[in-house]
Structure 1
Amino acid sequence: MKKTTIVLSITAAVLAVGAVVCYRTGVFPAAWQKALSLSAAHDEHEGHDEHDEHGAHEKHAEPGEGSGHGKEDGHGHGEAARGNLDPSEIEKATCEHNVRTVDCNECRYELGVVKVAPSVTDALIKTAEARQGDLGRTLRLTGEVQFDQTMLVDVLPAVRGRIVSVKAQLGQQVRKGDVLAVLHSGEFGEAKAAYLEALTLAEVAAQEKQRQAVITESLEKLLAASENERSPGLPGGVLGEWKSKLVGARARFRQAGTVLEREKSLVAKQASSQAELEAAEREMQTAQADYQALMEEIQLTVKLDRLKVENAAKLAEAKLNAVSQRLHLFGLDDGAIKAIPQMKENGTFAHLEVKAPRDGRITVLNVTEGRFVEETQTLYTIADTSNVWVWCDLYERDLGVLHDHMTKGATPAALVKVAAFPGGLDGRVDLVGSSVDESTRTVKVRVQVPNPEGRLRPGMFADVEIPLKEGKKVTYVPRQAVLSDEGQTFAFVHWKDDLWLRRDVRVGESRGELVEIVSGLSAGDRVVASGGFLFKSDILREKMGAGCAD
């Protein structure tokens, strides 16, 4: 199989070179015609081998019109091959050899018919189908690959300090959160110390708030009990500093009550005077009033104390949040902040880790150990090249068609080619500049290109193709399918079996490797797309000096 392929390839090359030589020299042997395009069919018309002996042929009727061959060349074939004849006329036409012209190896070319053996067709030519669709147009631009600015980040220190360690190097691939460098900063150490102080105050305020809540609960129970009992007992809950006052007031209240009851008993026995009873009653009323006043004072004071404690707790919490937010600005997360109280002082308390804010590759390195850096100084630049921008220059004359697509919300597809990877990468146009450069008269166009393998590098020059649909359907074929002779364009269309017809065509606009056919072909026609010069050589054999009596 391999040998057969090699032989066919060599044969095709030899035949191609021979055809070119014959075309340029004007000599085109009949044997070649038969081998390439006439199937080498030896038919019954032996009279063709005797043309040189008999001279000119007699005139015979032209296909479909009854006129004969011209007398200009001595072969009797005066007309060039004609295109676009109706197949029914071709079927009926006869040549001077009294056979159908289409069956005559020496005359069929006059009707624009070529007969090619399938084996030759398969080996030497390629065919394509005429299609109908939106041929559109393609904008061809030049541009430069640049970083996607939304995926590019400069790493700056959050605070001034001295670099004590460099962890990442130029060109290194890093992940979000990786430590790039470590710096020593007194300001950072002070911020951590402030956090510890605020944390302590917040904890104390929280405990005080909790203690006050317990006292308030006990006193509220006491107040509730005092409404139901004339001589309330001392509750068992925590009362704080009010405990001693309540104990004294309660004792005086109970003592006054005991004295009053004794005086009432003595008065009843006439053992005590009325004055003594009245004095005991006044003492009882005074003790009761003092007790009630103390309860009211406790109620008011407890509310004030509770309010003070709650405000103090809120203030401590706010201060803690403030210093925590400051630590967040230094790049610490919640976990790192909560771990500060457990840190041991080993000389690293004021060390701040500079971490990567995103995944990417380090493209700029501006840091060395021992160097003092400021907050405004860029230490690293990290770029994610999984997506890049290609900025192109679009001429003003081509702006209209792209603008129409963009205003409709479309993002036209684009093919980006660079010298290193000519196969190209797919992208999409997402932005057209809002101004025209005065010196170049061009508008900037941005193409977004996914670059997961990192093949495109910023700074590369690129050729960009942007195919655009125009909204109209046309018939089109490959550009190589259209041939020309003396200003007339034509193509070869498969007719039937091993027969092909020349069809004169009128071409329109071309788009890359495709060309519009205004007339002469219909969608679905099978045309010769490659190797058509063999067919053309046969059709123009008379022009090339190869008549029927060669």
Structure 2
Amino acid sequence: MNQTTGQLPTQPVNASHKPVLFLVLAIIAIVAGVGIYQFRSHKSAADSAPAPEESQQTGTTSEQAPQKENSGPVTITLPESKWKVSGLQIEPVATGRFEETIRLTGKVSLNEDKVAHIYPMVEGSVDKVDVGLGQVVKANDLLVVVHSREIGQAKLDLYQARLQQEMAVVKDKIQQEIATNTRQLLAALRKREPINEIEERFRSRSMGDYRERLLMAYAGYLKSDADVERLEEPTKSGAVAFKQLHAAKSSRNADLAAFQARIEQIEYELKTSLLLSSQSVKEASTRVAVAATSLRILGCDEQEIQTINPEQQGAAISHYFVRAPINGTIISKDVTLKEQIRPQSQIFSIADLSTVWITADIYEKNLPLLASLSGKPVRVFNEAWPDRSFQARIFYTGEIMDEKTRTVAMRAIADNPDHLLKPGMFVNIEFESGSEQELVIVPRSALQEHEGQDFVFVHTGEGEFEKRLIKPGKQNETTAVILEGLKPGERVVLQGGFILKSKMLEDLMGEE
């Protein structure tokens, strides 16, 4: 301390502390400036804000401004002299059925009603393959020749059955001839015709042993009858004893009985032999029919069945011919030469591509359309043929909804004579759907929109137009359904509404 002044001596400031001091002073200055700015801002806002009473009287609050705009109908004035220049077109509101075009994506698939998956009916080895993948075939065209032991044995059985049938038929014919001749002989014998005439008449006719047996019995009876006649006169004169005549009559009666019994026996034998002969023919015919049917079941055609001849065909009699069941295109081939095939193995698939199915999935929102879709035509498009459309007819709309996709299957059939629609192609599908009742409809060009509101301009008289809020419904490319806001007969602006909308917006901006 300085003893003269009584003060502490001044200490020199350290040069290393100067930057810190300047930083502290700068922060203090910034804080002070911010505080002064906020104070002035608040004061200015308070001075410029209107009093609550003033705001209520003038009605300029942000909450009340829209209410003023929507409190009544908005009317726009446009003199009729300017309508033509503005392109204004006015028409009355009409009613009608709403038509819309439904668009779906789909896929081309095979017509499952015209696809044949071919399996051999027998086991064997392939001797010949006549077709290739993608080849177009017609019904009954030869596809494959198979060497089959089963077929060979079935054909031999049929051949033997036919031989037995031929033999049975010949025997039956002979038996019928014998029966006819024998019956004629029996008729002659019952008439007691002379035996020499009978022998002369039936000498060359076939009757088996029936003629001998009948004629011997008839001759014995004639002899006994002649003996009786010869003894009758001598017996009357007493030259011959009555006992001898009686013995002759007894012998005649016995021979007559034997002759009649022989006739009855031969008639019975004729009936029996004819019955047996006829039955043999039926049995032989049945065996032939069974053997032939077995071959038909295995797929052999009639010409093949009728021309069976082991002597001429030799080992080829075992050939089994697989033929095309329908007209179509070979879309799969799983057989090669000398391959062993079995009934469980598919060897070909043939598809008739002259028609195809168009498959699509109907989403849940379009389910009301399903009831009216059956039998209706649809248009089909594919980007491979941009300038062409194909016609299809809906024939199936499913009854079960897919739980994963929430869709219902739809099927349509399309003619495909040029095979332009390939199974697997993706296609676009269009079809028309219309309402059953009359609705209020306007052209889409009449619809306007502002601040999320849909409206139209209604001509209320002379040069005045009213902005009419509406609730639109379904729309298509040209037409819209109006659910609320318009009545039939009201005149709405169809063209030139942009001019009215611009004028309406100018009026609103002028008010602001």
TM-score (norm 1): 0.66
Residue number in structure 2 paired with 1:365: 333
- Matched residue, 1:463: 428
Q: Aligned pair 1:182/2:149, yes or no?
A: no
Q: Is the 8 A contact 1:128 1:478 kept in 2?
A: no
Partner of 2:84: 114
Note the C-alpha offset of 1:168.
1.1
Whether the 8 Å CA contact 2:362–2:407 is kept in 1: the answer is yes
Establish whether residue 249 from structure 1 lines up as the match of residue 214 from structure 2: no
- SS for the counterpart of 2:393 is strand
Superposed displacement of residue 315, structure 1: 0.8
Using the alignment, how far apart are the partners of 1:243 and 1:428 within structure 2? 81
Structure 1 residue 454 displacement after superposition? 2.1
CA distance in 2, matches of 1:452, 1:130: 47
- Alignment partner of 1:411 is 2:379: no
Select the residue among 418, 428, 431 that pairs with 2:396: 431
Q: Give the residue type in structure 2 aligned to 1:427.
A: A
Matched, 1:192 2:162: no
Tell whether 2:282 aligns with 1:282. no
How do 1:37-436 residues align onto structure 2 when only pairs under 5 Å count? 82=77, 101-103=79-81, 108=82, 113-115=83-85, 133-229=96-192, 233=198, 236=202, 237-268=205-236, 270-341=238-309, 344-399=312-367, 401-405=368-372, 410-422=374-386, 423-436=388-401
Question: Which structure carries more helix by proportion?
Answer: 2
Select 2:478's aligned residue among 496, 510, 514: 514
- Secondary structure, in 3 states, of the residue corresponding to 1:200? helix
1:343 and 1:457 map into 2 onto residues whose CA distance is 50
The aligned amino acid for 2:434 is K
Are the structure 2 counterparts of residues 441 and 241 from structure 1 closer, same or farther at C-alpha, using a change threshold of 3 Å?
Answer: same
**C-alpha deviation, 1:238, in angstroms:** 3.3
After superposition, the C-alpha distances for 1:44-94 in whole angstroms (9 at most, x for unaligned) are xxxxxxxxxxxxxxxxxxxxxxxxxxxxxxxxxxx99658xxxxxxxxxxx
Structure-1 separation of matches of 2:325 and 2:169: 36
Q: What SS class does the counterpart of residue 120 from structure 2 fall into?
A: coil
Tell me, in whole angstroms, the C-alpha distance in 2 between the residues paired with 1:491 and 1:254.
134
C-alpha contact (below 8 Å) 2:86/2:499 kept by paired residues: no
- CA distance in 2 between counterparts of 1:511 and 1:166 reads 60
After TM superposition, give the deviation of residue 488 of structure 1 in Å. 5.8
- CA change 1:244–1:226 in 2 (3 A) is closer
Which structure: larger Rg? Answer: 2
Task: Tell me: CA distance 1:129–1:302, structure 2 relative to 1, closer, same or farther (3 Å).
Answer: farther
Q: Write the distance in 2 (CA, Å) between the matches of 1:152 and 1:384.
A: 6
Preserved CA contact (<8 Å) 1:260 1:280: yes
- Shift in Å, 1:387: 2.3
CA distance in 2, matches of 1:243, 1:537: 124
Structure 2 unaligned regions, length at least 5: 1-73, 460-464, 507-512
Superposition deviation, residue 226 in structure 1: 4.1
* Aligned pairs (5 A) from 1:1-16: none
Unaligned runs of 5+ in 1: 1-78, 84-100, 494-500, 546-550
Give the aligned residue type for 1:440. Answer: T
Q: Percent identity?
A: 25
- One-letter identity of the residue aligned with 2:321: E
| Residues 1:438 and 1:305: Cα distance change in structure 2 (over 3 Å) | same
Distance across 2 between alignment mates of 1:482 and 1:475: 13
Shift of 1:304: 1.2
SS in 2 for 1:447: strand
Deviation at 1:491, TM superposition (A): 8.5
Q: Decide whether the 8 Å contact of 1:509 with 1:515 is kept in 2.
A: no
Give, in angstroms, the shift of residue 166 of structure 1.
0.8
Q: Mean alpha-carbon deviation: is it higher for 455-464 or for 158-167?
A: 455-464
1: CA distance, partners of 2:359 / 2:350: 21
Equivalent-residue separation in structure 2 for 1:250 and 1:383 (angstroms):
80
- For 1:241 and 1:264, locate their aligned partners in 2 and report how far apart those are by CA, in whole Å: 35
Q: How far is the alpha carbon of 1:362 from its aligned partner? A: 0.9
Aligned-pair distance for 1:371? 0.6
Q: CA deviation at 1:265?
A: 4.3
Corresponding residue for residue 69 of structure 1? none
Q: Is the 8 A contact 1:80 1:542 kept in 2?
A: no
> What do you get for the CA RMSD once the two structures are aligned?
3.8
1:188 positional shift: 0.7
- Deviation, 1:151, is 0.8
Q: Sort the Cα spacing of 1:132 and 1:337 in 2 relative to 1 into closer, same or farther, 3 A.
A: farther
- Alignment partners' CA distance in 1, 2:168 and 2:94: 84
**Quick one: which amino acid aligns to residue 136 of structure 2?**
Q
TM superposition shift of 1:184:
1.0
Task: Please give the secondary structure, in 2, of the residue aligned with 1:454.
Answer: coil
Distance (whole Å) between structure 2 residues aligned to residue 503 and residue 245 of structure 1: 127
Q: Which amino acid aligns with 2:153?
A: E
**CA distance in 2 between partners of 1:432 and 1:252 (Å):** 94
Distance 1:354 1:492 in 2: 77
Q: Which position in structure 1 is the counterpart of 2:24?
A: none
Provide the rounded CA distance (Å) in 2 between the counterparts of 1:272 and 1:243: 36
**Structure-2 change in CA distance of 1:526 and 1:149 (3 Å):** farther
Contact 1:231 1:254 in 2 (8 A): no
